[in-house]
Structure 1
Amino acid sequence: MTTREVANQLVAYCRNNEEHKAYEELYSPEITSVEMSEPMKEVKGFDGLQKKGQWWKENFEVHGNKVSDPVVADGHFAVTFWMDTTHKPSGHRSQMNEIGVYQVKNGKIWREQFFYDTEE
């Protein structure tokens, strides 16, 4: 797949709450995922993604989300995500924007990094 095809498919899966299909079809087994802060600052491989996803489900309830169209440049693309969530342990509800930047090699996402404000 081309970078544009990977980007468009990822956006489609995210818009339909089918991220599991993206992990199965679009991600490289050597994936590195980078966040702005702990506890999941950097994870590697499918095991790391699974642990990160489990942590997210345990800690956040998602009330709504929006996903932008991708911006593609050579082997990279970026997507803006908007989320309305409640932090389960504290009960604090908030909205946030983040930018996901993805790098594609050999038709698979092998690096993703997310940028967002870490302070309120």
Structure 2
Amino acid sequence: METRHGASLLILYLHLAWVSCLQKVEQSPLSLKIQEGESTTINCSYTETINGGLQWFSQDPGQGLTSLFYLTSGEKQNGRLRSRYNMKERHSSLHITNAQPRDSATYLCAVE
């Protein structure tokens, strides 16, 4: 029974590795430092056409992911955060206005 479970994990791992090779997601800049009160934009692009949406997350050190936006097209805003998504161009941006110390985090985009 342990062997069957091990084989299932291996198949799942290989499947996930194969899927991730098809889609390449890139963010820029890779890191940045800004002063309190400044604004910044983080860009996300991907290589393959997707059928779902794009999601932006933030992650504080030692914490789990927090969903910021889920977009299928257009633009959404939540307070000082705004995200735009253009599926045709395979591009999204996350804009932070009037940055505050609490905005210090890792920001990630993901596509379905």
TM-score by length of 2: 0.31
Q: Which has more helix, going by share of residues?
A: 1
Which one has a bigger Cα radius of gyration? 2
The structure whose residues are more often strand, as a share, is 1
**Normalized against structure 1, the TM-score is what?**
0.30
